[in-house]
Amino acid sequence: MQIPSKLALPIGFIAFYCIGLALFGWANYTTHFQTLLDHADQKLALAATASDRLLPAKLHSAPLAQQMSRTEEEAIAKTLTSFAQEMQLAYVYTLVQHQGKLRFTSSSAAPGEFESKQYKLIYWSEYDDASPQINKAIQTLKPASAEYTDQWGSFRSYFLPRIAEDGTVYIVGADLNISAVHALAMESMQRAVANGVLLTILCLPFILIARRNFLANIALREQAYFKDPLTHLPNKNQLEKDLASCFHPHLVMLNIDRFYYVTSSYGQAFGNMLLCEFAYNLANYTHPSLKNMRVYHIHNDEFAVLVDQHFHNEQNLHVFNDFYNCVSQTQYRMPDGNMIALDLHIGVTAELDDPLELAQLALRKAQETNTSIIFYNSTESLPESYLSNIKKIQLIKDSFENNRVIAYFHPIVDARTGNIEKYEVLSRIVDDAGKVIMLPDEFVPLMQRSRNYGLLTLSMLQQAIDISRVEKVELSINFSTHDIIDPELANKIVKLVSQSGIAKQLHFELLETDSLVDEKSLTHFIMRLKRLGCRVGLDDLGKAYSNFDRLMSLPIDFVKIDRGVMARLEQDTDAQEITQKIVQFARTKKITTVAEYCYTPEVCKLAANLGIDYLQGHWLAEPEAHINRKVRAF
């Protein structure tokens, strides 16, 4: 029988709780049982020592098998029985070994034996089912403990070897019913389990509140990721997710022309109000031929409409023309009282493959040609740039299948010593002869668009691990927020690093150009890598200087100054000032700095004089498909 999905989580939690409670109870039982045994052994040792002093001094010095009267034996037995009862023991007794057999020389009686006059004489009787530990104690003359069962019951016993005046070795034994120890341990376990259940009941309201807050936090994070904070419409992330499940997508990309005039004339606050009103009108648009329309706020003045519906012939052209006419003729009131209609451009596609890219291309063409609406569908010739990209995507796919996406290694040099500190791992696509035919700037954006970027990261990481293990060098691998947004990919990266055994030789560089959509998730991922022993840095710092403080708040170990800053370093004092500020701030955070694009010896010297720790550039050494251990001196 299949469990309903709504009950699966509660049932799973209850099962997990019960298993956990059982394990807790068992752990408590075994721990307390061992503690009780330790106390029992101490008690038994004390009893054995004391009972030996209660016996006649000559009991074990006299000739073996001597006759002992019933009166004498009963007197000894009564003394030992009284002592055993006072100590809450089962039995105390003495034994000797004669001709390889153990024989009793004294013993306390069982409860009620004297009262019922059923006491049996035990002196010199054989002890057939004795514990092997007794013989061991006789041979080693060292005390021994045992837990065993004989004809009188199950006991925890202590055997104390003694030597009589004539040299005879005898054993003083003391027994405790083991069932009593188990009963006490069971009682302790029951109390512990009961307390655990009671504590759970008392904490349950707090657990439920924490769970509610946790789920609410997840919902807020999901809302922040999938919804626009201004218009509260679904955003581009939600659009990409919805497109993946569409069977007949018709995607409309819509842009408000020259919207910046509105914000510059009436202010950002009014511009935001106008966007919200426009979004409301879009979301409430209806058409008799539209059955399933969803509206998205992509960015600022750009919106999207997705219709997952099959149209007959050219019905879609008429439907979206009607849509354009309606939304473009809607009047909006300005702060000065005037009513105006917004100028719009629309790009539409009905293609199942890559609809977002095609709709954006159609929109750009509409803007460039100042055309109200442009359609890209199966009846229209697709843009040449798009067709070119399709060919490149196929080339990239073939390259992965044939292991032609390979790692190149670019040395990073210590600015003080000129020695190679580590290597950055750079990806290249090569032909069958090993010649580079495509660089990352060309194929990485296409891989991100086709959602195959994770293949590149995992491939470069695996190649880096293999090389680092053999060459014993430190390597730095690039990663982006694309690697973190996908939990499965993030876990694969961490697993690869963890299983490599060389995490301390691996560094990771976060591409600073990526949008930090969730800084908490990014920080969490960075800390997962750092806990394994990796060092994590920030690439291209300086490209978005306004985000400098925010980015530097991440738990990073090094930063790489953007090549755009380094390219102007010799001639531009602003670039030098930016570099100095980065170096100064990094030092306060104990973060090392790396300057990339060191293209001349003069730039290398200037960067070193500005306090940069490490240098990288084609003048120092070119990236190569193998580990190059030579660089130019500067």
More confident residue, 6 or 470: 470
SS3 percent helix, strand, coil of the chain, rounded to 5, is 50, 20, 30
pLDDT of residue 62: 60
- The whole-number pLDDT of residue 47 equals 92
Q: What is the mean pLDDT of residues 415-430?
A: 97
How many angstroms separate the CA atoms of 177 and 34, rounded?
15
What are the DSSP calls for 461-507, one per residue? HHHHHHHHHHH---EEEEE-HHHHHSHHHHHHHHHHHHHHS-GGGEE
The pair of three-digit structure tokens given for residue 464, joined into one six-digit string: 């880096």
Please give the average per-residue pLDDT across 579-597, as a whole number: 92
- Domains annotated for the chain, with CATH where assigned, are 10-183 (3.30.450.20), 236-382 (3.30.70.270), 387-560+611-615 (3.20.20.450)
Structure tokens at 558: 């090094």
Predicted local distance difference test score (pLDDT) of residue 379: 47
CB 564, CB 570: distance < 8 Å: no
Question: SS3 sequence, 360-402?
Answer: HHHHHHHHHCCCCEEEECCCCCCCHHHHHHHHHHHHHHHHHHC
Tell me if 607 sits within 8 A of 414, measured CB to CB: no
Of the chain, the percentage scoring pLDDT greater than 90 comes to: 45
**Between residues 59 and 88, which one has the greater pLDDT?**
88
Q: Please work out, in degrees rounded to the nearest 5, the angle formed at the alpha carbon of residue 487 by the alpha carbons of 483 and 492.
A: 70
Question: Given a cut of 60, is residue 306 above it in pLDDT?
Answer: yes
Q: How many helices (H) and strands (E) does the chain have?
A: 19, 21
Find the mean pLDDT for residues 1-17: 69
Read off the pLDDT of each residue in 419-425 and give the average, rounded to a whole number: 97
The pLDDT of residue 282 is: 94
pLDDT at 195: 86
What pTM did the predictor assign?
Answer: 0.53
Of the two residues 567 and 383, the one the predictor is more confident about is 567
Answer yes or no: are the C-beta atoms of 346 and 320 closer than 8 Å.
yes
146 pLDDT above the threshold of 70 = yes
CB-based contact 361:383 (threshold 8 Å): yes
pLDDT score, position 516: 47
The fraction of the chain above a pLDDT of 70, given in percent, is: 93
- Residue 546 is predicted with a pLDDT of 43
Task: Tell me which of 122-126, 352-356, 548-552, 570-574 is least confident.
Answer: 548-552
Residue-wise pLDDT tens digits, 484-510? 877 888 999 999 999 999 999 999 998
Taking all residues of the chain, what is their mean pLDDT, rounded to a whole number?
Answer: 87
By DSSP bridging, strand 331-333 and strand 339-341 are antiparallel
Identify the pLDDT of residue 210.
Answer: 84
Segment 67-119, tens digit of pLDDT? 678 888 889 999 999 999 999 999 999 999 888 889 898 999 988 787 777 77
Top-confidence residue, 240 or 386: 240
